[in-house]
Amino acid sequence: MDWKFEIKTIKSNNINLRVAIEGEGPLVIMVHGFPELWYSWRHQIKPIASAGYRVLALDVRGYGGSDKPYPIDSYGMSDHMADLIGLIDYFEEEKAVLIGHDWGAPIVWNTATLHKNRISAVAGLSVPYRKRGPVSNLQALRQLYKDKFFYQLYFQKEGVAEKELESDIRLSLRKIYFSASGDASSLENWVNRPPSTTLLGDFEDPDPFPAWLSDKDLEYYIDNFSAGGFRGPINRYRNQDQDFDNLPMMGVEPVEQPSCFIAGSKDLVRTFVPGIDLYETPDIHCRDMRVSKVIKGAGHWVQQEAPEEVNVALLEFLDSLK
Task: Provide the annotated active-site residues.
Answer: 102, 300
Q: Which residues are CB-neighbours of 290 under 8 A, at least 6 positions away?
A: 258, 259, 260, 316, 317, 320, 321
CA angle in degrees (0–180, nearest 5) for 172-81-6: 65
- 3-class secondary-structure state, position 8: strand
Torsion angle of the four alpha carbons 265, 270, 276, 279, in this order, in degrees rounded to the nearest 10: -60
CB-based burial, 228-258: b 16+ in 10 Å, e otherwise: bbbbbbbbbbbbbebbbeebeebbeeebebb
